[in-house]
Structure formats: structure tokens, C-alpha cells
Structure 1
Amino acid sequence: MNNEILQLHGLRKVHGDDRTGVVALDDVSLALPAGTFTAVMGPSGSGKSTLLQCAAGLDRPTAGRVLVAGREMTGDETELTRFRREHIGFVFQQFNLLPSLTVLDNVTLPLRLAGKRPDRARAIEILERVGLGDRIGHRPPALSGGQQQRTAIARALVTEPSVLFADEPTGALDTRGARAVLQLLQQAVRGYGRTIVMVTHDPVAAAHADAVLFLADGRLVGRMADPTPDAVAERLARLGDDVARDAVRAGE
């Protein structure tokens, strides 16, 4: 049985004309097994966010294929929206919670948008798992940043997505809040079998993942299993030096 929950085949993304535009992704292929936590890192402009957006169906690649849970992500915007609601969860740096809704109502909102009757008992169970069982009636402005991000993660988990994409999920948090969120993401993978792909610039955050993929100039240039903050930081520094050196040579 194929255990690869996310597959990218020859992904290419060009902003502008295909011949003269900016190449954000250049023939990226990868396959990620179910129940894994993968961080994506690289120098500024390496294509990290573009990779996440194309893999998550938020942007269309210029060429290549994206498969989630064995199904190719194709079709018009209505079909893509339906596909994302059924298979994909999102966590962003900004929490994107509705301030007028309670924590519980924010968490069940994706189900209501999909035309499903929310299972309040299950939503409460998830909120209890993320440490917010005593906050279900609160509204986001009454929560700390870390609590708001945990609410956003609960909202993403309630639909049981095939893949959860996280874009700099700890970027707006202090150290304590970031640690709690990263531990929660680990728990979602190891305790409940979720699959997470996280874009981050932080070596400490990346070290919570099972593996780190490195991008440079829109290409996959390396992979690190069992990452540590020091090893990730060293690899990023080398990538940054290589990119700077190539830029100088291009200008000669």
C-alpha cells in the first residue's frame, strides 16, 4: 500500500512570462509519508512559501502535479475549494480567527462552511486535547497569542485533514507560546497520525520536525533527518553563503 500522503511531481512556478519571468519553483519533486512532520527551510526568496501555497492548492503551479492522499489536485476554483476543505488544513502566522465568535464556534466554522453539521462533542474533545477545554466560551481577544494559535490548530484538526500546512506558525509568538505550539504539532503527528508540512525560518522550530527539506533558488538542495537547531542553523548559513556567492557571480 502506498503510504505517501503528499506527492509533488516536477513542480514549476514562474511569476510572469515563462521565458522571462521569475522562477519561484524549478522542477521540485518529493513524496512525504503519512504521519510525518516535515519542516521546509531556505534563504529568503528560496521558494518556501510558494512551495507551500502550490502544494496546498492556494496557488496553481505553472507546470507539474500535486497529489494529496492519492488524488490529483485539479479542476476549477470551486473544485479546488472543495478539495481543500476535505483534505487540507491550514495554520498561518496570523491566527485568522473571527473575534466575534467564541473559541468553540471558531473551531467548528470550517465544518459549517462545508455544509456539515458540527460535532460539538468532538470539537470540545479536540480543544481539551490542545489545552483549551476551559476556554471554549471565550472570544479570541481574551486569549494570549499562544492560545489563539492553539485554537487555530484545533480548527485545522477538526476536519481531520490528510495534510496540515503550517506557514511560520510560531512567528508571532513569544518563546513560551512557540514551544507549546510546536509540542502540540508534534503531538498531532505522533499521537494522532496527522501529516504536517511547516515552513519556518527558525532552526529551533525546525528541530521539532522529523526531517527538514532545504530549498535554494526554487530547487530542493538537501534533506536532514533528526534535525538539531545547531545543525539546521549551520546548513542554512552555508546555503545563504552559496546564494550570495552565486548572486555576485551573476553580476560579474
Structure 2
Amino acid sequence: MFRRTDRRNHDHDHDHARGQGPGPGPAETALRLVKVSKTYGSDDSAVTALDEVTFSLADGSFTAVMGPSGSGKSTLLQCAAGLDRPDSGIVMVDGAAMTGGTEAELTRFRRNRIGFVFQQYNLLDTLTVAQNTVLPLKLARRRVDRARVREILAAVGLGDRLGHRPDQLSGGQRQRVAIARALVTEPSVIFADEPTGALDTRSARDVLRLLQEAVRVHGRTVVMVTHDPVAASYADSVLFLADGRLVGELHRPTVDAVAERLAHLGDDVMTGA
């Protein structure tokens, strides 16, 4: 499947062993948040979406983020991925802080170190599969390795679809293009926002296995926001949010264990506990 390659345009060496827990140094930590807070609105209408969230994710890990509606999952992803700026706190990718700097600097940072997979694919209808895949490289003005692009698309099962356009593909195939697009820049972290939300069960399973392979074979770090316990069970661990706070973590998740934890969180939210 995926061929492991060295990451490009990064400041730090990543020759450490995979599978270690989060450590103090940037070489072992792909993503670190320190007391990240975000509030929308002001005065009486203010809503705290994130309340001093702190955690570290190991390089080469697959983490699901879950919680009740309004728990802060989407805000966490947006702030961690550099799509939105937190009001306070620090977000670090590979030991480099994303907080601070200009919008242009933040955009360059995202293009070099971060990949995205969205629920609605975010493909351009006028571009072919191959053209959509290399778009991040084009935007970053980076060299396009055509052989590498073909290899990635073959690995996600689209080797015979390079010239097709999105309207000629199924939902599952479109999401495969999105995964290929996320992989082609060789990012440090791939953020997936409800990547299986619009897919049937079989396509969802295939996409989740591809995300697993991105981690286990290709060496990427994946952070996936999901509401689905089945999707979460494909991850190495699950972080649980409630009312903008990190309230728990589950390692080696199973569908039943995730569902039970979510049920308890839902009960706590309803009772105000």
C-alpha cells in the first residue's frame, strides 16, 4: 500500500520509534494544545466553546474526538488545524507554534504541515481526480511528483480514475480523493471532520481503513472528529469533550465502550453534572 517517505519542509527529525506515548520533546509529539480557549459572542450572549483545553498527541497516532452536540468538537478541530485562532493558549505542530504570526504565515504553515478531509469532500467539480489531488501542491508552489501522485491514488483504489471528475464518482470514491489530496503534501497531521458522515456503511468502513493505513503504514498523525462510535473504534484512542472541556480519554476503543462513555456524557449534560 502506502510507501513510507521522509517528510519535507519540516524543522525536526522524526526517526524516533513509532507508537511511543506523548513525550516532552517535539520529536515525539505531533500535536500539542496548551490551555486553548475560544469564546464566541460577548457579554450575556457569550458562549465558551473551548475552556483551557490541554493535550498532546504522539507522532503516528490516530485519535478520535467525540462529545455531545455543542461540546466544542468542531471548534477544537478548527483551532488545532489553524482554520480559526483561539482567544488564548498555544497550538503546536511538530514543536512549531501556530498561534501568532500573520494570516499569510499561518496559511503557509497549514499548506506544508497539515492535511484535511471534510465530510463534504471539498473537491472542485471542474478538476479531474488527479488535478484535485495535486491542488495543495500547486497552491503551495511545490513540485508535483507525478509518479508519487499515481502511487497514492492507486493505493486508495483510484488508479483507474485519474481522469474522472467528481460527478463521475461515488461518495466513497470522492472521499478517497480527499484522503489522497491530504496525503500528497506529506503533512504532519491530517484532520478529518466527520469523514464518514455522508457515506454508506461499506464506503465508511473503507475510508476508515484508509485513515488507519495513513497512520500505520504512511506514518501520519490523524485527528478525526466524529459522532459515530463505530468510526471511533478504528482509532487508537478517543478524547471526549463536554462543555468545551476535555473530560476523558479512552485507549483501544471498542464500539460498546465508546457508546457507553457517550451515553454517560449525555446524561451528565442533561442533568448539569
Q: What TM-score range do you get, normalising by the shorter chain? A: over 0.9
Tell me the equivalent position of 1:28. Answer: 53
Match of 1:3 among 22, 28, 43: 28
Cα RMSD of the aligned pairs, angstroms, is 1.2
Distance 1:235 1:141, change over 3 A: same
Tell me the equivalent position of 2:139. Answer: 113
Tell me the equivalent position of 1:135. Answer: 161
For residues 23-80 of structure 1, the C-alpha deviation after alignment (integer angstroms, 9 at most, x for no partner) is: 0000100000000000000000000000000000000101000000110002111111
Tell me the equivalent position of 2:108. Answer: 82
For residues 140-170 of structure 1, the C-alpha deviation after alignment (integer angstroms, 9 at most, x for no partner) is: 1111100000000000000000100000000
* SS state at 1:60 partner: coil
Number of aligned residue pairs: give it: 247
Q: Which runs of 5+ in 1 are unaligned?
A: none
Structure 1 residues 178-197: aligned runs within 5 Å: 178-197=204-223
For residues 116-148 of structure 1, the C-alpha deviation after alignment (integer angstroms, 9 at most, x for no partner) is: 231111111100111110111111111110000
Letter paired with 2:181: R
Distance 1:160 1:18, change over 3 A: farther
Kindly state the Cα deviation for residue 100 of structure 1 after the two structures are TM-superposed.
1.2
Tell me the equivalent position of 1:242. Answer: 268
1:43 and 2:68 correspond = yes
1:17 and 2:38 correspond = no
Tell me the equivalent position of 2:93. Answer: 68
Identity of matched residues, % = 69
For residues 158-211 of structure 1, the C-alpha deviation after alignment (integer angstroms, 9 at most, x for no partner) is: 000010000000000000100000000001101111000000000000000000
1:200 and 2:226 correspond = yes
1:154 and 2:180 correspond = yes
Match of 1:167 among 184, 193, 196: 193
For residues 88-114 of structure 1, the C-alpha deviation after alignment (integer angstroms, 9 at most, x for no partner) is: 000000011111111001101110111
Letter paired with 1:59: D
Kindly state the Cα deviation for residue 18 of structure 1 after the two structures are TM-superposed.
7.1
Instruction: Determine the C-alpha separation between the residues in 1 that align with 2:217 and 2:43.
Output: 44
- After the TM superposition, list the runs of 4 or more consecutive aligned residues in structure 1 that deviate by more than 4 angstroms: none
Instruction: Determine the C-alpha separation between the residues in 2 that align with 1:40 and 1:106.
Output: 27
Structure 1 residues 202-217: aligned runs within 5 Å: 202-217=228-243
Instruction: Determine the C-alpha separation between the residues in 2 that align with 1:5 and 1:196.
Output: 10
Instruction: Determine the C-alpha separation between the residues in 2 that align with 1:205 and 1:93.
Output: 13
Tell me the equivalent position of 2:248. Answer: 222
